[in-house]
Structure formats: structure tokens, C-alpha cells
């Protein structure tokens, strides 16, 4: 499973980005840079990630730094899957 491809699909779908997420790389800033990614959207993204990847995150596993960039979010998923 390509984590970054799946993550881009989740972000694109939930945030209605119209395909923009396909161009995201690890350095692409998320929280504070994407107006579509507000606090309610973060909750939805976490839920979608858990569902798509079969994961469960504890509250203390995710904070603002997790959503700082596309790469930081992908690394969080990768670490949880390992």
C-alpha cells in the first residue's frame, strides 16, 4: 500500500481539493496553510486515516505537529503501521 498516495486521496476527498493533493510532497505544509483543514476537518481526516489503514490513534499520539506537513502526517501513519 502506498501510504502517500492513499493519504493524498483521503485529503483530496475530505477537503474537496479537486485533485490538488496529488501534487503534495513531504514538504507541503498542511495545518495553517490549507484553509480547508480546520479543526473539524482534522477530526474527519483522522477518522478516515484510521478507517483506510485499519489503525486506532490514542489522543496523545496526534498533535499539531502531526499535521504540520504532508510528510509529518505520512510518517505518523508509517510509524503506526510498523
Q: What is the CATH number of the domain that holds 51?
A: 1.10.1200.10
What is the pLDDT at residue 8? 98
Q: What is the DSSP letter of 26?
A: T
59 pLDDT higher than 90: no
Is-above-0.85 flag for pTM? yes
DSSP letters of 34-81? -TT--HHHHHHHHHHHHHHHT----GGG--GGGGSBHHHHHHHHHHHH
- How many CB atoms lie under 10 A from the CB of residue 1? 8
Of the candidates 54, 52, 16, the one whose C-alpha atom is nearest the C-alpha of residue 35 is 16
pLDDT in tens, 4-15: 999 999 999 999
Residue range 20-41: mean pLDDT, rounded: 96
Residue 60: partners with Cβ closer than 8 Å, 6 or more residues away: none
Number of structural domains in the chain: 1
Full residue range of the structural domain in which residue 57 is found:
3-81
The model's confidence at residue 1, banded by pLDDT at 50, 70 and 90, is confident
What is the pLDDT at residue 14? 97
Residues above pLDDT 70, as percent of the chain = 100
Amino acid at each position: 500500500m502506498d501510504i502517500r498516495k492513499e493519504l493524498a486521496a483521503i485529503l483530496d476527498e475530505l477537503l474537496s481539493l479537486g485533485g490538488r493533493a496529488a501534487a503534495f510532497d513531504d514538504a507541503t505544509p498542511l495545518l495553517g496553510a490549507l484553509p480547508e483543514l480546520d479543526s473539524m476537518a482534522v477530526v474527519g481526516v483522522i477518522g478516515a486515516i484510521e478507517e483506510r489503514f485499519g489503525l486506532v490513534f490514542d489522543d496523545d499520539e496526534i498533535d499539531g505537529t502531526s499535521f504540520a506537513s504532508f510528510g509529518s502526517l505520512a510518517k505518523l501513519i508509517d510509524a503506526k503501521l510498523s
